[in-house]
Amino acid sequence: MCGYRCDLCKAYAPNIEKNDDRAMLSEIWKKYYDLDIKAEQIYCEGCRCSKEDAVRIDNNCPVRKCVIQRNIDNCGDCTRFPCSVFLERKGLSYEGAKEKLGASFDEEEYKRCLSAYDNYTRLKEYIKK
């Protein structure tokens, strides 16, 4: 909905079942996003999961709520993109992550764990199509 790629996210339930990388993801979220979420608390069935009791990293995500209220597929379909609601969940681009971490930036780490959250770049490409 916001442009994150659940299929690439290490917190996404099917990915945890295949290969549980939550301990590493917990450290990386702390390093790049200043989030302090314990590995055992990282589990998400995705924003599009229709189960009433779906487990999500953020059950109160304002972007998900907005997309549903506007009856659109994702933020890229909204004429107000990028709005303040989207910007609350804007992920780090490759360049943004590199700038934030400087010399300690690890390209492989970014590709493996954070590329799923580069939603702004992804949605800008979506809009061009």
Q: Is the pLDDT of residue 128 over 90?
A: no
Three-state DSSP at 88 gives coil
Mean pLDDT of 78-84: 96
Mean pLDDT (the chain) is: 94
pLDDT computed for residue 129 by the predictor: 72
71: confidence class by pLDDT, cuts 50, 70, 90: very high
E strand or H helix at 109: helix 107-109
Instruction: Render pLDDT for 95-119 as a digit per residue (tens, 0 to 9).
Output: 999 999 999 999 999 999 999 999 9
Q: Is the pLDDT of residue 14 over 90?
A: yes
pLDDT computed for residue 84 by the predictor: 97
CA dihedral 4, 96, 108, 117 (to 10 degrees): -10
Radius of gyration from C-alpha coordinates of the chain: 15
Q: Is the pLDDT of residue 89 over 80?
A: yes
124: confidence class by pLDDT, cuts 50, 70, 90: very high
